[in-house]
Structure 1
């Protein structure tokens, strides 16, 4: 047994361990918050017509392109309006024709009476009556033409309403709410669907009251979208200083610095915000190990391993900031599972 133990000690002493010095570095201080993505811009799509909804082409959650047909309103009422407007135009045209004929007759009578008056064949009273009649007929022509113009404008308006029977998406977006169904009455100004603009997607999170003072507009952040397994750079865009009375937290919004069409409203997000920096002792991440359920590192203490329990403060790439280790001390990188205190390192 003594011979086996001696061989094991010789093997351990002969093993070459990789040591790395602990370094004092300036590291970022970050806070991580749970949040989600949302659309900053929403569009409530309605129709200008009153009528029954004939067809709806989208459901909640559908992604739509600008110009895509969303829904249709039954145009029967519009056709009725158009027919009435056309009948009004015909009636006005007939009125103009009748007024112009009456004016033409009055003008002939006026010309004839004018010659007779000059010859002294009729009295001034009779001539004035004829003059008044001509002027009245002329004003009736002008009135009839004005009514015709009004009727034509009504027809143009009725015809223009046809295009509002089909409602198209004004933006690239996603349908977040459908507020009506086929057969429902559509009213002007009442939204049928609500779209979220996919080009305006941002992230948001509720921040504890004690952290609000640490966050400023324009501050750098990183948003991790778990559904996409992607980290996206962002900045604080706004801080809503009206807190939630129940949770004593404040809403902070973040804008993405890179365009990503795959990010949709409603995705879960973990948002890491840089709130400052400070100097800390860092060691390689691979120096971390566990003994008896305690996280620590092995430090070179005069050529022998010494296990030091540590607290991890933060991670910076392949390094971690820890406590209980001094800058300049050397730690064992990738310590073997059988390493213990006093294991020779030389």
Structure 2
């Protein structure tokens, strides 16, 4: 009888300990579930960036000339005015030649005297009357006089201005009777042939690297409504604009209209030949973004891991990421803004 009570007592004790153990473990499990955050994850998509680049461009002339006189003096005559069409080699202006002619005459007379002195001393040197030194001195003087005369004749030749290009006079800087110095521009001439016109457009650094010379361009202009033009990129600037921070490209039109002017605007659509592979994630996956960079969370071993990414561009409710997601296949969307590095998560 006593043995029976002993067995029952032992079973009662064991049962009590088992219940106590379960009760002790239950709060720990509940606490763990409370601190685990529930999130949703989204699979990262990959797209090939092929969107067109759309910017505004300005019509410019590739050829510009600012002709000037080689020598200074008083302007005698100007033959062209603003708005005139000129051809290459056309006479535009001349100087008063009185002073210049006097310089040429003086140089030529000095040359004649030096030549006579050279002949006389040369004869004396043959007769051993003049020394070698005397002969060398007059020969040097002759060479100096000859070069001086050549320079004077050259300056006389360039005491007139001829147009270096065919185009239109867009500005006359100096006029009849004014005193000009060497190299001071008298006119500004822009080339106006179809081969002279280009469209210059500024691209962001991300768009600039997507283009290359030869890329096709579609062009529309407010000055010619309803007309579509085509062209291609012919030059890419290697220096960014100081103020704008953009990089210029130059576009040649295949079918330029007959009349263009510097400053006309054009809407440009560039078909870039360089394609980029971009990873795309939902916008809500981004946290702490400044427009260029941001952070996303991914899940590793049940823990939230924060990753910095570089934003490529916005695509509606999605974001193209240019770098930072290498080796990552999923990102947290719902609940991402409440996460911290190392938080326990489940999905």
TM-score between both structures, scaled by the size of structure 1 = 0.52
3-state DSSP of counterpart to 1:159: helix
TM-score between both structures, scaled by the size of structure 2 = 0.52
Kept in 2, the 8 Å contact 1:73–1:186? The answer is no
Match for 1:204 among 196, 200, 205?
200
Q: Which residue number corresponds to residue 69 of structure 1?
A: 91
Change (3 A) 1:50 1:40: same
Tell me, yes or no, if structure 1 residue 255 matches structure 2 residue 264.
Answer: no
Alpha-carbon shift at residue 202 of structure 1 (Å): 0.3
Q: Where do 1:1-346 residues align within 5 Å?
A: 30=52, 32-100=54-122, 102-103=124-125, 107=127, 134=128, 136-137=130-131, 139-198=133-192, 199-207=195-203, 216-227=212-223, 230-240=227-237, 242=240, 245=243, 251-258=248-255, 262-274=259-271
Alpha-carbon shift at residue 164 of structure 1 (Å): 0.4
Kept in 1, the 8 Å contact 2:76–2:94? The answer is yes
Structure 2 stretches lacking a partner, 5+ long: 1-49, 276-347
Kept in 1, the 8 Å contact 2:58–2:264? The answer is yes
Q: Which residue number corresponds to residue 330 of structure 1?
A: none
Change (3 A) 1:244 1:188: closer
Change (3 A) 1:257 1:212: same
Alpha-carbon shift at residue 250 of structure 1 (Å): 5.2
Q: Which residue number corresponds to residue 316 of structure 2?
A: none
Kept in 1, the 8 Å contact 2:104–2:156? The answer is no
Kept in 2, the 8 Å contact 1:52–1:184? The answer is yes
Kept in 1, the 8 Å contact 2:61–2:196? The answer is yes
RMSD over equivalenced CA pairs, Å: 3.5
Alpha-carbon shift at residue 100 of structure 1 (Å): 4.8
Q: Which residue number corresponds to residue 328 of structure 2?
A: none
Kept in 2, the 8 Å contact 1:204–1:254? The answer is yes
Kept in 2, the 8 Å contact 1:220–1:234? The answer is yes
For residues 196-218 of structure 1, give each alpha carbon's deviation from its aligned partner in whole angstroms, at most 9, with x where no partner exists.
33333201234577865765543
For residues 78-126 of structure 1, give each alpha carbon's deviation from its aligned partner in whole angstroms, at most 9, with x where no partner exists.
111112112212322342354356457xx3xxxxxxxxxxxxxxxxxxx
CA distance in structure 2 between the aligned counterparts of 1:144 and 1:243, rounded to whole angstroms:
59
Structure 1 stretches lacking a partner, 5+ long: 1-27, 108-133, 278-346
Q: Point out the more displaced range, 158-167 or 212-221.
A: 212-221
Change (3 A) 1:136 1:274: same
For residues 99-155 of structure 1, give each alpha carbon's deviation from its aligned partner in whole angstroms, at most 9, with x where no partner exists.
356457xx3xxxxxxxxxxxxxxxxxxxxxxxxxx2634553453344234323322
Change (3 A) 1:91 1:249: closer
3-state DSSP of counterpart to 1:136: coil
CA distance in structure 1 between the aligned counterparts of 2:86 and 2:258, rounded to whole angstroms:
13
